[in-house]
Amino acid sequence: MHLVFAYIDPGAGSLVIQAIIAGLVSIPFFFRNAIRSTIGRFRHKPTDGASAATGRSAPDEKGAASTDSE
């Protein structure tokens, strides 16, 4: 069992509702991330030569990865 130590008042109702909301939004969140990482894996497939030629796929993946981590 945990005490919530905070110098600000996190609010009893705010703690409860955020757990409920987090539970709900985590479903699409993980689903989205799963799709993204799958797409990411497919994008990795072309050879280095191909991605260098388009010059696009590498930065795109970087962008997707950094969005994931946010």
Partner 1 sequence: MTERPAAEREPGSYRDPSGFVFRRDGVLYRQINASFADDWAAFESSGLHQALVREGLLIADAPASLELAPEPGAVAVIQPDEIGFVSHPFEWSFSQLKDAALLTLRAQSLAAEHGMTLRDASAYNVQFSDGKAILIDTLSFERAAGDQPWKPYRQFCENFLAPLALMAHRDGRLGQLLRTWIDGVPLDLASELLPRSTRYFAPGLAAHIHLHARAQRQHAGSSGPDGAPSGTSRAVTMSEGRRLALLDHLRRTVEGLHLPAHGTVWADYADQTSYSKAGTASKESIVKHMLKAIASDGGRRAWDVGANTGRYSRIAADAGFWVLALDIDWAAVERHYLTLRSSGETRVTPLLADIAEPSPAIGWENTERASLIDRANADVVIALALVHHLAIGRNVPLPMISRLMARLSPNLIVEWIPKDDPMVQRLLAAREDIFADYSPEAFLAAFHTDFEILEEAPIEDSGRVLFRMRRHQ
Q: Residues in the site for partner 1, rule: CB under 8 A?
A: 1-4, 6-26, 29-30, 69-70
* Cβ neighbours for 4, distance < 8 A, ≥ 6 positions apart: 10, 15
User: 46 near 57, Cβ under 8 Å?
Assistant: yes
Nearer Cβ to partner 1, position 2 or 56?
Answer: 2
Nearer Cβ to partner 1, position 47 or 69?
Answer: 69
Shortest Å, Cβ 68 to partner 1 = 9
Nearer Cβ to partner 1, position 47 or 66?
Answer: 66
User: 39 near 63, Cβ under 8 Å?
Assistant: no
